[in-house]
Amino acid sequence: MRAHVIRRGKIVNTIVVESLKVLPDLIDASIGGSTGDSYANGVITPKVKPPKPAKRITLDELTSTEGVKLINFLKTNNIVTAGRAKKLKGDN
Protein backbone atom coordinates (compact mmCIF):
# COMPACT_ATOMS: atom_id res chain seq x y z
CA MET A 1 0.00 0.00 0.00
CA ARG A 2 1.14 3.57 -0.60
CA ALA A 3 1.57 5.82 2.41
CA HIS A 4 2.45 9.46 2.98
CA VAL A 5 5.17 10.33 5.50
CA ILE A 6 4.11 13.26 7.73
CA ARG A 7 6.65 15.57 9.39
CA ARG A 8 5.68 18.76 11.23
CA GLY A 9 2.19 18.68 9.71
CA LYS A 10 3.35 18.39 6.08
CA ILE A 11 3.54 15.48 3.66
CA VAL A 12 7.25 15.09 2.96
CA ASN A 13 7.33 11.80 1.03
CA THR A 14 5.20 8.99 -0.38
CA ILE A 15 6.42 5.41 0.07
CA VAL A 16 5.20 1.84 -0.41
CA VAL A 17 4.73 -0.19 2.79
CA GLU A 18 2.98 -3.41 3.81
CA SER A 19 1.30 -1.78 6.82
CA LEU A 20 0.87 1.74 8.20
CA LYS A 21 2.25 0.46 11.51
CA VAL A 22 5.74 -0.08 10.01
CA LEU A 23 6.81 3.52 10.69
CA PRO A 24 5.37 6.30 12.85
CA ASP A 25 3.68 9.28 11.18
CA LEU A 26 2.29 7.38 8.18
CA ILE A 27 -1.14 7.94 6.64
CA ASP A 28 -2.89 6.11 3.82
CA ALA A 29 -2.10 7.77 0.48
CA SER A 30 -5.37 6.60 -1.07
CA ILE A 31 -7.17 9.51 0.64
CA GLY A 32 -5.27 11.89 -1.64
CA GLY A 33 -2.65 14.54 -1.19
CA SER A 34 0.87 15.01 -2.50
CA THR A 35 4.27 16.15 -1.28
CA GLY A 36 4.10 19.61 0.31
CA ASP A 37 0.42 19.44 1.31
CA SER A 38 -0.54 20.10 4.94
CA TYR A 39 -2.06 17.41 7.16
CA ALA A 40 -3.89 18.10 10.43
CA ASN A 41 -6.65 16.20 12.27
CA GLY A 42 -7.20 13.79 9.38
CA VAL A 43 -7.62 16.56 6.80
CA ILE A 44 -5.23 17.13 3.89
CA THR A 45 -4.99 20.73 2.69
CA PRO A 46 -3.32 21.40 -0.69
CA LYS A 47 -0.31 23.68 -0.66
CA VAL A 48 -0.94 27.25 -1.73
CA LYS A 49 0.68 28.18 -5.02
CA PRO A 50 2.16 31.67 -4.98
CA PRO A 51 0.83 34.03 -7.66
CA LYS A 52 2.91 34.37 -10.78
CA PRO A 53 4.81 37.65 -11.08
CA ALA A 54 3.43 40.13 -13.58
CA LYS A 55 4.94 39.81 -17.03
CA ARG A 56 6.93 42.78 -18.24
CA ILE A 57 6.36 43.77 -21.84
CA THR A 58 9.02 45.41 -23.96
CA LEU A 59 8.13 48.04 -26.54
CA ASP A 60 9.08 45.58 -29.30
CA GLU A 61 6.31 43.21 -28.15
CA LEU A 62 3.58 45.87 -28.43
CA THR A 63 1.43 45.96 -31.53
CA SER A 64 1.39 49.22 -33.44
CA THR A 65 -2.02 50.15 -31.98
CA GLU A 66 -0.87 49.48 -28.41
CA GLY A 67 2.30 51.46 -29.05
CA VAL A 68 0.32 54.47 -30.30
CA LYS A 69 -2.00 54.27 -27.26
CA LEU A 70 1.01 54.17 -24.94
CA ILE A 71 2.68 57.13 -26.62
CA ASN A 72 -0.56 59.15 -26.51
CA PHE A 73 -1.01 58.28 -22.83
CA LEU A 74 2.52 59.38 -22.02
CA LYS A 75 2.10 62.65 -23.93
CA THR A 76 -1.21 63.38 -22.19
CA ASN A 77 0.22 62.52 -18.80
CA ASN A 78 3.19 64.86 -19.32
CA ILE A 79 0.91 67.75 -20.34
CA VAL A 80 -1.37 67.20 -17.34
CA THR A 81 1.61 66.94 -14.99
CA ALA A 82 3.13 70.12 -16.42
CA GLY A 83 -0.22 71.91 -15.99
CA ARG A 84 -0.46 70.82 -12.37
CA ALA A 85 3.06 72.01 -11.68
CA LYS A 86 2.24 75.48 -13.03
CA LYS A 87 -0.93 75.73 -10.92
CA LEU A 88 0.92 74.66 -7.80
CA LYS A 89 3.61 77.32 -8.34
CA GLY A 90 1.03 80.02 -8.98
CA ASP A 91 2.10 80.76 -12.58
CA ASN A 92 -1.48 81.03 -13.87
Query: Which residue would you say has higher pLDDT here, 54 or 88?
Result: 54
In contact, 43 and 11? CB cutoff 8 Å: no
* Beta pairing partners, 53: none
Considering the chain, what is the average pLDDT of its residues? 81
Q: Per residue in 64-92, pLDDT tens?
A: 777 778 778 877 766 655 555 555 555 55
| Domain presence at residue 50 | no
> In terms of residue numbers, what domain contains 70?
59-89
pLDDT beyond 70 at 16: yes
**How many domains is the chain partitioned into structurally?**
2
- The span from the CA of 16 to the CA of 19, in Å, is 9
Query: Which residue would you say has higher pLDDT here, 49 or 82?
Result: 49
Greatest CA separation for the chain: 86
| Domain presence at residue 23 | yes
Lowest mean pLDDT among 26-30, 49-53, 71-75: 71-75
| Domain presence at residue 12 | yes
Give me the pLDDT at residue 65, please. 78
| Domain presence at residue 29 | yes
